[in-house]
Amino acid sequence: MSEITVIALDAMGGDNAPGEMVKGAVDALGREQDIKVYLLGKEDIVNAELQKYTYDKNRLEVVNTTEVIETAEPPVNAIRRKKDSSIVVGMKMVKEGKADAFVSAGSSGAILVGGQVIVGRIKGVERPPLASLIPTEKGVALLIDCGANVDARASHLVQFAKMGSIYMEHVIGIKSPKVGIVNIGAEEEKGNALVKETFPLLKEEKELNFIGSVEAREIPHGQADVIVTEAFSGNVILKLYEGVGAVLISKVKEGLMSTLRSKIGALLIKPALKSTLKSFDASEYGGAPLLGLNGLVVKTHGSSKAKEVSNTLIQCVTFKKQKINEKIRESIQSEQKSAE
């Protein structure tokens, strides 16, 4: 008998909650047998959505939570005060072993704080990074840290590289993933103080396939599989990816609509264009896990729809089956033994 992955899903978080969250959960149940989902939210609202679908009631249950943390709320306060919010209840289920993972499209701040405060870190992990899959010309790369720890130190970045490598190898299936550090030049002597301090440390790590500096220009070309950086530039990269993409695509559409000739052309190219641009769409790749916690916490896009939710739930199953947290624990603890 296969092991079941139990996931607490925040039905109240994100721009499209609860509709798309519920739809994503039902979809995941159809795709994957070894999964059980708890939908956390206001019972009556969630049940009203659920009535639209037929699904296996043994594998999908609603947990009533009466409070909602808003995106604008200061996260530390929100976590402390709203004990009956979907985020706090979901995190506690992970903490207490009632769920393997918590997935939410809600307040990033509350998810980051809750992950550290409620779920807690794996022993030895200094700072849990947020890791996001981003599309590249060759497929997909992991950007780590993309928003959890600003003003990080070199030792944190080394741990990010290790955790990111484990994730890419065992969840995404890239053998011996290439690790690069975001830098403003290709040479080792380039960079700011943090990168200069981190570079030789990464070079020393025999278990990593460290390929050196990666200039931001190379990231979309897929030069590295694991892209290590501190959270400020990581978040800038993640957001700019979306921004440049959105503006360019709207420019292309504007061009297509500009003349009669181009409008006719647009009709002809539409199907082909749609399928190539789909490969550059972040929602194909699921949410961003907060790595290094005693359990799994995943943040999906605030704008995520059912497909992203469903993909994220399936990734949680792989995360558990591949024993990612055990592997992270081993990797971080062997580091600490060798330091003793």
Query: For binding to a copy of itself (CB under 8 A), which residues are involved?
Result: 136-137, 147, 150-151, 182, 184, 191-193, 195, 215-221, 231-233, 235-252, 254-256, 258-259, 261-262, 264-277, 279-280
Q: Given the complex with a copy of itself, which of 71 and 318 has the nearer CB atom? A: 71
Nearer to a copy of itself, 175 or 271 (CB): 271
CA 53 vs CA 22, 27, 323: distances in Å: 9, 10, 32
Q: Where are the alpha helices (DSSP H) in 120-169?
A: 154-167
d(CA 145, CA 103): 18
Q: Are 155 and 125 in contact (CB under 8 A)?
A: no
Of the pair 53, 280, the CB lying nearest a copy of itself is at 280
Q: How far is the CB of 227 from a copy of itself (least distance, A)?
A: 11
Shortest gap between Cβ of 195 and a copy of itself (angstroms)? 8
Q: How many CB atoms lie within 10 A of CB 280?
A: 15
Q: How far is the CB of 302 from a copy of itself (least distance, A)?
A: 12
Nearest CA-CA partner of 9 in 68, 67, 83, 90: 90
Q: How far is the CB of 264 from a copy of itself (least distance, A)?
A: 6
Toward a copy of itself, which CB reaches closer, 41 or 147? 147
The pairing of beta strand 288-290 with beta strand 296-299: antiparallel
Locate 169 and state its tokens: 């190898």
CB of 45 to a copy of itself, least distance (A): 28
Look up residue 154 and give its amino acid: A
CB 62 within 8 A of CB 39: yes
Q: Which is nearer to a copy of itself, 38 or 285 (CB)?
A: 285
Given the complex with a copy of itself, which of 48 and 269 has the nearer CB atom?
A: 269
> 48 vs 240, which CB is nearer to a copy of itself?
240
Neighbours of 223 (CB within 10 A): 20
The one-letter code for the residue type at 140 is: V
What six digits make up the tokens of 263?
A: 């409008």
Query: Which of 286, 8, 338 lies closest to 162, judged by CA?
Result: 338
Phi, psi of 297 (to 5 degrees): -125, 130
Q: How far is CA 81 from the centre of its chain?
A: 26
- CB 254 to a copy of itself: min, Å: 6
The smaller minimum CB distance to a copy of itself, of residues 72 and 339, is found at: 72
Name the residue among 288, 292, 293, 332 with its Cα closest to residue 120: 293
Distance of CA 294 to the CA centre of its chain: 16
CB of 309 to a copy of itself, least distance (A): 21
Q: Six-digit token pair at 132?
A: 């996001």
Q: What is the nearest approach in angstroms of a copy of itself to the Cβ of residue 237? A: 6
